[in-house]
């Protein structure tokens, strides 16, 4: 394996959890709901997936438990912001704090346990393509899931009726409601989907990335995912670009240090953030028109009776 | 993040605070001891070991001492947490990270009747002691092991931040390696965090990708040594025994053992004999403990054991003069035959042979 391939493989690992969590949040926000609880849902996904994977000695059960945990946290959020039309910013922040705390409690008995690496699955034929084949088609299932999700979400949002409904509700929930579109039901499903994705991203962190669990191991990745959604202007394709730029910059700055280029490590540590912001800014300038957030983002919806 | 114990403690704030300020430096029957940790107790490393010390206190003085801890306290935001403990009737407060130095001093000046202990710092007050362990003694030993065992002749180091404590560790590690392998090269990566398992693992992978086959770390999670294990390379446990994460890769671990010190200092407060001091323990005082040497040939094991014995007896000092700086000039020897403690605690230079520059 050449050093370039090794670097790129690490970049894929670093980018995948960000991409998965951000895709979920993208759907949630496109429906008009701002969920700042990604970090908390991710932490719960990590703790529950690891607990289940160790208890039942099964990665699959672990992944399912992680997604379920994320979705349950999201359900709690949905109850508060949809059921009681509470402030979404406050509720989301509370969800993060709650999730970080509860995950510590759930994970505590599993401190010190470890899991073996999960197998990589080769895609026949495609994995024989030189260079690219090994990078993208000899990965674990999480990576394939993140790519498929990106494509499916892009198609869903722009090419299906249901996707159009979701977007209309996110743009203007009053009009959508007047047209008879199911605002609350659509938002509930979008929130649950976002939670499951955050849980899946957490499962990836605990089961693949580190293969052990420790409190607070998400370390702000949920917040990065949230920021990526904004910088990608709520577009799945750009989100993929943003997540990979962030992952690449994170890994490359470590390599730059090891290669002794002489740039201060503190400066290099800031590179991922700067690179992602600049890249996505350039993308949106090139696109030529202002791209705003979904019109109803963050606004509570109370149906007329 | 506040522990549940702290919430319990906060309930009894008023009563406890009164009794604490009323007491002078005299023997006491019952005291409360508080701890501030920079990471979570479950980090398997630095904070975990301090918490082992806290538990040792509870075991040593059943019924006489109650303990409280606050974990994952950001260094920039620590003053509030320290003051919280001071206000809730704690008699002795340990703050266990270098970055807590200024906030600890500030709170200590405000509460002269409470005893404070700050780990790895250098600012003291009549009611503020400092303590640290000579981890560089252990790092010299693992440096020798790495220098002997490396096949690629390149050894790696994942550091947290470029601060004196970490720089001294890197120098001791490299001097150890150089003492048995004059041409060995070292590559250094700073993760710029004490604790982020995923990033620490990525830093380790970057070093391994660039040809490092012996990995030392000065960050708190087992992610780096686990990365070494996954690549079939070798590493050294940091702060606590990390063998269960890397049974094939861990050659030895440098374990921080605070138990004896914490128990002694608590006893001093109970007896009314506590004084502001500066303690710097090493292998000879059991503050630094090496776990059994494994996964290495017998001759390397013998070398490591001999070096450990020599350091213990005082025959060998990792920073024995002459120490040559990167520019080829000899560093002034202020401690007689070796660098002085101040020089080691404030170390801001790499030794000759390290090609990297210290990030400023």
B302 min Cα distance to partner chain A (Å): 30
Average pLDDT over residues A218-229: 93
The confidence score (pLDDT) of residue B194 equals 86
- Positive/negative CA dihedral, A84, A89, A94, A95: positive
Residues of chain A with Cβ-Cβ distance to B205 below 8 Å are: 6, 10, 251
Q: Give pTM, 2 decimals.
A: 0.85
Q: Is residue A24 situated within a structural domain?
A: yes
Contact B240, B232 (CB under 8 A): no
Contact A23, A197 (CB under 8 A): yes
Q: For residues B115 and B188, state if they share a domain.
A: no
Q: Is residue A90 situated within a structural domain?
A: yes
Residues of chain B with Cβ-Cβ distance to A223 below 8 Å are: none
**A112–B244 C-beta distance less than 8 A:** yes
Q: How many domains does chain A have?
A: 1
Which residue in A has a C-alpha nearest to residue B186's C-alpha?
A: A258
User: Which structural domain, as residue segments, surrounds residue A140?
Assistant: 15-222
Residue A223 buriedness (CB in 10 A; 0-12 / 13-18 / 19+): middle
User: Which structural domain, as residue segments, surrounds residue B107?
Assistant: 4-133
Question: Which of B109, B133, B157 corresponds to the end of one domain?
Answer: B133
Q: Picking from A9-13, B18-22, B278-282, which range would have the lowest pLDDT averaged per residue?
A: B18-22
Contact A222, A197 (CB under 8 A): no
What is the residue-wise DSSP string for B41-94? GGGSSHHHHHHHHHHHHHHHSTTTEEEEEE-S--GGGHHHHHHHHHHTT-SEEE
Mean pLDDT, chain B, whole residue set: 90
Residues of chain A with Cβ-Cβ distance to B230 below 8 Å are: 117
The confidence score (pLDDT) of residue A1 equals 63
Among the ranges A26-30, A110-114, B221-225, which has the highest mean pLDDT value?
A26-30
A172 min Cα distance to partner chain B (Å): 39
Joined together, the tokens standing for residue B242 give 């990390």
Count other C-beta atoms under 10 Å from residue B338's C-beta.
Answer: 17
Closest CB from A10, A214, A269 relative to B202:
A10
The confidence score (pLDDT) of residue B11 equals 41
Q: Is residue A53 situated within a structural domain?
A: yes
User: What are the beta bridge partners of residue A69?
Assistant: none
Contact A52, A208 (CB under 8 A): no
Buried b (16+ CB within 10 A) or exposed e, B205-219: bbbbbbebbbbbbbb
Q: Picking from A190-194, A280-284, B95-99, B282-286, which range would have the lowest pLDDT averaged per residue?
A: A280-284
Average pLDDT over residues A40-51: 97
* Residue B35 three-state SS: strand
Q: Is residue B21 situated within a structural domain?
A: yes
Q: For residues B104 and B141, state if they share a domain.
A: no
* Angle ∠(B311,B312,B316) on CA atoms, nearest 5: 20
Q: Is residue A295 situated within a structural domain?
A: no
The confidence score (pLDDT) of residue A287 equals 66
Q: Is residue A209 situated within a structural domain?
A: yes
The confidence score (pLDDT) of residue A289 equals 55
**B43–A3 C-beta distance less than 8 A:** no
Q: For residues B15 and B154, state if they share a domain.
A: no
Joined together, the tokens standing for residue B79 give 């003053």
Most distant CA pair in chain A, distance: 67
Q: What share of chain A is helix, strand, coil (3-state, %, to 5)?
A: 75, 0, 25
Q: Is residue A9 situated within a structural domain?
A: no
Contact B208, B190 (CB under 8 A): no
Which residue in B has a C-alpha nearest to residue A208's C-alpha?
A: B198
* Residue A256 three-state SS: helix
Cβ–Cβ pairs < 8 A, chains A and B: 115
Average pLDDT over residues B200-222: 94
Which residue in A has a C-alpha nearest to residue B240's C-alpha?
A: A112
Q: Is residue B356 situated within a structural domain?
A: no
Question: Which of B133, B166, B185 corresponds to the end of one domain?
Answer: B133
Q: How many domains does chain B have?
A: 2
**B203–A219 C-beta distance less than 8 A:** no
**A214–B43 C-beta distance less than 8 A:** yes
Whether the CB of A2 is below 8 Å from some CB of chain B: the reply is no
Residues of chain A with Cβ-Cβ distance to B221 below 8 Å are: 210, 214
B2: pLDDT strictly greater than 90: no
* Helix (H) or strand (E) run with residue A305 in it: none
ipTM (interface pTM):
0.86
Whether the CB of B240 is below 8 Å from some CB of chain A: the reply is no
Q: Which of B119, B70, B71, B120 is nearest to B90 (CA)?
A: B70
Q: Is residue B87 situated within a structural domain?
A: yes
Q: For residues B194 and B53, state if they share a domain.
A: no
Question: Which of B133, B156, B186 corresponds to the end of one domain?
Answer: B133
Gap between the Cα atoms of B341 and B98, Å rounded = 16
Q: Which of B142, B138, B211, B228 is nearest to B180 (CA)?
A: B142
Closest CB from A108, A219, A265 relative to B198:
A219
- Positive/negative CA dihedral, A13, A17, A18, A19: positive
Which of B231, B232, B359 would you mutate first to test chain A, the one with the most A CBs within 10 A? B359
B77: pLDDT strictly greater than 90: no
Strand pairing class (B31-36; B92-95):
parallel
The confidence score (pLDDT) of residue A122 equals 82
Q: Three-state SS across A165-225?
A: HHHHHHHCHHHHHHCCCCHHHHHHHHHHHHHHHHHHHHHHHHHHHCCECCCCCCCCHHHHH
Whether the CB of A258 is below 8 Å from some CB of chain B: the reply is yes
* Contacts with B155 (C-beta within 8 Å, 6 or more apart), sequence order: B143, B146, B147, B173, B174, B177, B184, B185, B186, B187, B212, B213, B214, B215, B216
Residue A246 buriedness (CB in 10 A; 0-12 / 13-18 / 19+): buried
Q: Is residue A147 situated within a structural domain?
A: yes
Q: For residues B140 and B189, state if they share a domain.
A: yes
* Angle ∠(B184,A255,B352) on CA atoms, nearest 5: 30
Q: For residues B148 and B112, state if they share a domain.
A: no
Which residue in B has a C-alpha nearest to residue A12's C-alpha?
A: B202
Residues 32-71 (B) with a CB less than 8 A from some CB of A: 40-44, 71
Q: For residues B107 and B78, state if they share a domain.
A: yes
The confidence score (pLDDT) of residue B33 equals 97
Average pLDDT over residues A126-150: 85
B14: pLDDT strictly greater than 50: no
Q: For residues B128 and B142, state if they share a domain.
A: no
Mean pLDDT, chain A, whole residue set: 91
User: What are the beta bridge partners of residue B128?
Assistant: B116, B125
Average pLDDT over residues B300-326: 96
Average pLDDT over residues A101-128: 86
**A214–B42 C-beta distance less than 8 A:** yes
Which residue in A has a C-alpha nearest to residue B202's C-alpha?
A: A251
Whether the CB of A106 is below 8 Å from some CB of chain B: the reply is no
**B190–A216 C-beta distance less than 8 A:** no
Q: CATH number for the domain including B308?
A: 3.40.50.2300
Whether the CB of A14 is below 8 Å from some CB of chain B: the reply is yes
Task: Name the percent of chain A lying above pLDDT 70.
Answer: 97
**A10–B244 C-beta distance less than 8 A:** no
Q: Is residue B329 situated within a structural domain?
A: no
User: What are the beta bridge partners of residue B76?
Assistant: none
Residues of chain B with Cβ-Cβ distance to A46 below 8 Å are: none
- Return the CA Rg of chain B: 21
Q: What is the pLDDT of residues A243-264, one digit of tens each?
A: 999 999 989 999 989 888 877 8
Gap between the Cα atoms of B6 and B80, Å rounded = 14
Closest CB from A205, A251, A265 relative to B202:
A251
Q: For residues B26 and B160, state if they share a domain.
A: no
* Contacts with B183 (C-beta within 8 Å, 6 or more apart), sequence order: B153
Q: Picking from A5-19, A178-192, B306-320, which range would have the lowest pLDDT averaged per residue?
A: A5-19
Q: For residues B311 and B193, state if they share a domain.
A: yes
The confidence score (pLDDT) of residue A290 equals 53
B19: pLDDT strictly greater than 60: no
* Residue B288 three-state SS: strand
* Angle ∠(A297,A300,A301) on CA atoms, nearest 5: 105
A137 min Cα distance to partner chain B (Å): 21
Q: Which of A185, A194, A146 is nearest to A166 (CA)?
A: A185
Q: Is residue A254 situated within a structural domain?
A: no
**A117–B359 C-beta distance less than 8 A:** no
Q: Is residue B31 situated within a structural domain?
A: yes
Residues of chain A with Cβ-Cβ distance to B359 below 8 Å are: 264-266
Which of A115, A119, A210 would you mutate first to test chain B, the one with the most B CBs within 10 A? A210
């Amino acid at each position: 394996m050449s050093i370039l391939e090794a670097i790129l493989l690490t970049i894929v690992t670093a980018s995948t959890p960000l991409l998965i969590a951000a895709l979920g949040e993208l759907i949630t926000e496109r429906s008009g709901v701002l969920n700042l609880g990604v970090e908390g849902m991710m932490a719960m996904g990590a703790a529950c997936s690891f607990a289940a994977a160790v208890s039942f000695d099964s990665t699959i059960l672990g992944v399912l438990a992680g997604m379920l945990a994320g979705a349950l946290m999201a359900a709690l959020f949905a109850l508060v912001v949809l059921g009681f039309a509470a402030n979404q910013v406050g509720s989301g922040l509370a969800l993060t704090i709650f999730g970080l705390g509860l995950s510590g409690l759930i994970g505590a008995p599993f401190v010190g346990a470890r899991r073996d690496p999960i197998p990589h699955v080769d895609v026949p034929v495609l994995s024989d393509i030189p260079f690219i084949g090994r990078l993208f088609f000899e990965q674990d299932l999480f990576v394939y899931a993140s790519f498929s999700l990106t494509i499916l979400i892009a198609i869903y949002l722009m090419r299906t009726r249901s996707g159009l409904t979701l977007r209309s509700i996110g743009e203007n929930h009053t009009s959508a409601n007047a047209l008879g579109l199911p605002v609350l039901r659509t938002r509930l499903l979008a929130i649950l989907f976002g939670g499951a994705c955050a849980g899946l991203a957490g499962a990836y962190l605990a089961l693949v990335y580190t293969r052990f669990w420790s409190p607070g191991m998400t370390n702000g990745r949920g917040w990065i995912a949230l920021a990526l959604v904004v910088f990608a202007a709520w577009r799945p394709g750009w989100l993929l670009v943003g997540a990979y730029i962030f992952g690449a910059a994170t890994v490359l700055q470590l390599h730059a240090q090891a290669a002794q280029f002489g740039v201060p490590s503190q400066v290099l540590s800031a590179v991922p953030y700067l690179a992602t912001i600049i890249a996505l800014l350039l993308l949106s300038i090139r696109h030529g028109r202002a791209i705003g957030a979904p019109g109803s983002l963050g606004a509570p919806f109370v149906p007329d009776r | 993040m506040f522990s549940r114990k702290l919430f319990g403690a906060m309930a009894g704030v008023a009563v406890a605070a009164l009794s604490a300020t009323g007491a002078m430096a005299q023997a006491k029957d019952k005291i409360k001891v508080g701890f501030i940790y920079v990471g979570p107790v479950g980090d398997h490393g630095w904070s975990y070991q301090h918490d082992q010390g806290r538990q040792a206190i509870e075991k040593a003085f059943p019924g006489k001492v109650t303990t409280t801890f606050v974990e994952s306290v950001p260094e920039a935001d620590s003053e509030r947490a320290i003051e919280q403990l001071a206000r809730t009737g704690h008699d002795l407060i340990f703050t266990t990270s270098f970055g807590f130095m200024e906030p600890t001093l500030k709170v200590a000046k405000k509460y002269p009747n409470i005893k404070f202990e700050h780990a790895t710092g250098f600012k003291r007050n009549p009611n503020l002691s400092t303590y640290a362990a000579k981890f560089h003694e252990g790092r010299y030993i693992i440096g020798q092991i790495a220098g002997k065992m490396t096949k690629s002749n390149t050894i790696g180091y994942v550091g947290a931040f470029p601060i004196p404590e970490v720089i001294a560790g890197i120098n001791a590690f490299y001097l150890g390696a150089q003492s048995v392998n004059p041409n060995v090269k070292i590559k250094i990566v700073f993760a710029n965090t004490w604790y982020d398992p995923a990033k620490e693992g990525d830093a380790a992978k970057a070093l391994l990708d660039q040809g490092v086959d012996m990995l030392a770390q000065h960050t708190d999670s087992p992610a780096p040594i686990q990365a070494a294990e996954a690549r079939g390379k070798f590493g050294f446990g940091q702060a606590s025994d990390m063998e269960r994460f890397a049974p094939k890769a861990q050659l030895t671990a440098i374990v921080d053992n605070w138990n004896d010190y914490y128990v002694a200092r608590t006893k001093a407060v109970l007896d009314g004999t506590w004084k502001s001091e500066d303690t710097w323990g090493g292998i000879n005082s059991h503050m630094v403990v090496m776990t059994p040497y494994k996964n290495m040939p017998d001759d390397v094991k013998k070398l490591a054991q001999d070096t450990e014995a020599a350091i213990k007896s005082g025959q060998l000092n990792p920073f024995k003069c002459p120490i040559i700086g990167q520019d080829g000039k000899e560093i002034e020897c202020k401690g007689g035959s070796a660098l002085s403690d101040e020089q080691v605690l404030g170390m801001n230079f790499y030794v000759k042979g390290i090609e990297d520059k210290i990030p400023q």
